[in-house]
Amino acid sequence: MKKAQLWDIFCRVIDNYGDIGVCWRLAADLARRGELVRLWVDDASPLQWMAPQPVPGVQQFSWSQSMLPTALPPADILIEAFGCEIAPEYIQHRVNRAGAVPPVWLNLEYLSAEGFVARNHGLPSPVMSGPGRGLIKYFYYPGFTAASGGLLRETDLAERQRAFEREPWLRQLGLRAPGEQLLSMFCYEPAALGDLLSRLAQGTVKTRMLVTFGRASAAVAGAVADKNRAQPDWNRAGRLGFAYLPALSQTDYDHLLWACDLNFVRGEDSLVRAIWAGKPLVWEIYPQSDGAHEVKLQAFLDQIEAPASLRKFHNVWNSASSARRAALPMLALADWQASVLAARKTLLELDDLTSQLLRFVSKSH
């Protein structure tokens, strides 16, 4: 029987819980495959609602604890998630010790469909200074092709999705939606949000928007208040309804995506989960001041061979430079779903990230 390896995963919670969301999914997936994981995080409070049930094989530690000498055994694998740098005290106390076997040290990068992923995935980078001098880090890039590190996907995900029942799950949230189109909203503050509300309110299909807790709820509530002040009868026919959701666990966020007819997502983790859901999706990419996010967005749309209507909607939704003054296009859910399902089928033929990661580590020891 293969001996379990010990993984130390380091995470700093920087933006809207996406970093810790990915790290927790990875830690839990590794543990369910028989590995042992220590998650070192500077703010574990989001896990109280994101992952309320403990996973055997995963231990949580505060980032500050990593700086202290302890009797904990050294890890076989180190993962710096999304450019966070492991504290030099940890390297000094736990890695750079006489007789210690050097760990496999990985820098888990952000997800992208850009061409540099294939060129850089798996490349070694010698550590030139500090207590880790002489060790090797490897760049590990998640991605959408066989030349990348793949996407997170649990081994039982398809089985859980097939067994999901929408109506009982909605009732648990106190919702009933007979004959309604359901739309999940997980966003930052898109400039086109007000236009979307108007379009849905004027549409022929009755829609219920299920709004996620936190920043998205604040954005939607603010946009609704603005419209109520400027045009009190904008939703007079009542074709658009709202449900502001409590904080959902990662499991229930999957359920939300499976339950809806259209999913608005943001960041990295929710994008991947929306792809696996196989429903029409709109991705709000995290904006960067230098415009690099626009290149990243177009690479993703190219990767999924997005139809023209989905490209245009994404560009307007993300305030892309080519579409800042354009009107929000009509929804074209049938075309959008066909695009997502085709991309999903291709991605399901690739090994998932955890499987590839285990294989990469075995070759690097």
Paired tokens of 11? 């995470």
Query: In the chain, where are the structural domains located?
Result: 6-151+351-364, 157-348
In this prediction, residue 37 carries a pLDDT of 98
Q: Do the first three CATH levels of 6-151+351-364 and 157-348 match, i.e. the same topology? A: yes
In this prediction, residue 115 carries a pLDDT of 96
Q: What are the tens digits of pLDDT across the range 112-123?
A: 999 999 999 999
d(CA 363, CA 10): 22
Q: Which residues contact 319 (CB under 8 A, 6 or more apart)?
A: 190, 191, 192, 287
How far is the first Cα of the chain from the last one, in angstroms, to the nearest whole number?
A: 18
- Residue 19 a catalytic site member: yes
CB 201 within 8 A of CB 239: yes
- In our burial notation (b when 16+ CB lie closer than 10 A, e otherwise), range 42-69 reads eebebbeebbeeeeebbebbebeebeee
In this prediction, residue 17 carries a pLDDT of 78
359 residue type, one letter = R
In this prediction, residue 82 carries a pLDDT of 92
In this prediction, residue 1 carries a pLDDT of 60
SS3 for 5-68 is CEEEEEECCCCCCHHHHHHHHHHHHHHHCCCEEEEEECCCCCHHHHCCCCCCCEEEEEHHHHHC
In this prediction, residue 99 carries a pLDDT of 61
CATH number of 157-348: 3.40.50
Candidate list 8, 29, 35, 268, residue with the active-site label: 268
Q: What is the mean pLDDT of each run of 10 residues along the chain (365 residues)?
A: 89 81 97 97 93 96 88 91 91 72 93 97 94 92 98 98 97 89 96 96 95 96 97 96 96 98 95 98 89 92 96 93 81 97 98 98 86
Q: What are the tens digits of pLDDT across the range 136-165?
A: 999 999 999 999 999 999 999 999 999 999
d(CA 256, CA 250): 10
In this prediction, residue 59 carries a pLDDT of 97
Q: Which residues contact 89 (CB under 8 A, 6 or more apart)?
A: 66, 67, 68
Candidate list 19, 76, 269, 294, residue with the active-site label: 19
* Rg, C-alpha atoms of the chain: 22
* Topology annotation, domain 6-151+351-364: Rossmann fold (3.40.50)
In this prediction, residue 97 carries a pLDDT of 64
